[in-house]
Homo-oligomer: A and B are copies of this chain.
């Protein structure tokens, strides 16, 4: 019988795990060609609207393979249910026995997604972060910042949102972290005062334009995970000194890089992969005046790494 763990147990286990380190190792293995990641499985629904993604794979010669299901059904909020849900399944790579079911309700997907933002900041943020800027006051808008706190000294934050209510809720939810939080409805203010920017929205139109981006800025775009979504003007990727993909293979098909290549603003050959940026310092920024952009679409190796770490902790406890 598989072991079954619920969200509360998983959250407790996460307190004892260096998720960012596990995700970093995963990206290195991925870019070194040591991870098998088949194309993302996808179900799209129209009434009510929603999408389900199945991400799965394994690190070669590892103990486990992992299948992850994550869904987003935005109308759920009208029913008093969270929009996101999901689970992770951990199988033995030796026998295919199902060892563990993590009923994480999408929490592990959120945590590993935020951890990827932290990994990116560790290797691509300018040496002195003046102010952190965040587009999006939702779950990732919060969790990306929480994941940055151990990586970046700066405690000055400006958050852009689409309404006063969500911005007030953001400030309230983040009040325990000792941050100086400014909220705004004006994206210009973010670009003008921040040199580490995270976009975490489901936008289908660009939130930032190339002429707004100052020298020395790093942008992590993590909201766009389908072909339709787009947070950055393609010209930003054209202007950047370094464009980094979590997975070049996936970014050919979706996300900001896909849009910039389609628009002719970027050549896919000029994109480098995050795992290689981690293992090769020559692929990082070479001065604090350079502009860098990282595009995160979410790779199954993140799910593999976080579920393995959580299972190891829970199995030992």
Contact = CB atoms under 8 A, between A and B. Distances in A.
A76 interface: yes
Contacts of A283: none
A67 to B, nearest CB: 6
B38 A41 contact: yes
In the complex, the 4 A-B pairs of residues with the closest C-beta atoms, listed nearest first? A71-B96, A73-B96, A41-B41, A76-B95
Contacts of A72: 96
B43 A36 contact: yes
Given A1-B103, A42-B38, A71 B85 contact: no
A56 B73 contact: no
Interface of A: 1-2, 4, 6, 36, 38, 41-43, 45, 48, 50, 52, 54, 56-58, 65, 67, 69, 71-73, 76, 79, 81, 85, 87, 89, 91, 93-98, 101, 103
Contacts of A65: 43, 45, 52
Nearest to A44: B36
Of A2, A57, A101, most B-chain CB atoms within 10 Å: A101
A43 B56 CA distance: 9
Contacts of A101: 101
A54 B97 CA distance: 15
Most buried by B among A6, A52, A85, A95: A95
Contacts of A58: 43, 45
B69 A41 contact: no
B97 A81 contact: yes
A89 B4 CA distance: 14
A275 to B, nearest CB: 21
A107 to B, nearest CB: 14
Nearest to A52: B96
A50 B96 contact: yes
A139 B217 CA distance: 62
Nearest to A4: B4
Contacts of A43: 36, 38, 56-58, 65
Nearest to A2: B103
Nearest to A92: B73
A192 to B, nearest CB: 39
A79 B41 CA distance: 32
A72 to B, nearest CB: 8
Nearest to A83: B96
A56 to B, nearest CB: 7
B98 A85 contact: yes
A307 to B, nearest CB: 15
Given A50-B96, A73-B96, A85-B96, 5 more contacts: A4-B4, A52-B96, A54-B54, A81-B95, A85-B98
